[in-house]
Amino acid sequence: MSDDRYVREVDDDTLRREKARARELRQTSWWRRRIATGLCHYCRRAVGARALTLDHVVPLVRGGRSIRPNMVPACKDCNTRKQSLLAWEWQAYLDQLERSADR
């Protein structure tokens, strides 16, 4: 997936500030509770709490913010593949994979 599929919607200062906020939230008991099940939000695989990464449902570069409703635990595989896709774009990608697997 290429990073040129959209125009960046935030400036560098905002991006830096939101990333710092995400780092802070990863240190909270709220985040520890979110990852306690060890389940990826997207694929629902049990990968263990230590293997989960923080993903922004609406990516920071697409105007998302580092607020609790926009942050979910994701396995490294899903987080890497999702990149900067919005939720509906990611779902379309997953649906396409499922259709390909059914053939």
- Could you tell me the CATH number of the domain that includes residue 40? 1.10.30.50
The answer to whether the CB of 39 falls within 8 A of the CB of 45 is yes
Question: Would you say residue 16 lies in a domain?
Answer: yes
Question: Would you say residue 29 lies in a domain?
Answer: yes
Question: Would you say residue 48 lies in a domain?
Answer: yes
Question: Would you say residue 24 lies in a domain?
Answer: yes
The answer to whether the CB of 36 falls within 8 A of the CB of 68 is no
Question: Would you say residue 1 lies in a domain?
Answer: no
Counting the structural domains of the chain, the total is 1
Question: Using CA of residue 78, residue 79, residue 84, residue 86, what is the dihedral sign?
Answer: positive
Total residue length of the chain: 103
Per-residue burial over 60-82, b = 16 or more CB atoms within 10 Å of its CB, e = otherwise: bbbebbbeeebbbbbbeebbebb
**pLDDT per residue as tens, the chain (103 positions):** 444 555 567 899 999 999 999 999 999 999 999 999 999 999 899 999 999 999 999 999 999 999 999 999 999 999 999 999 998 999 998 888 888 888 7
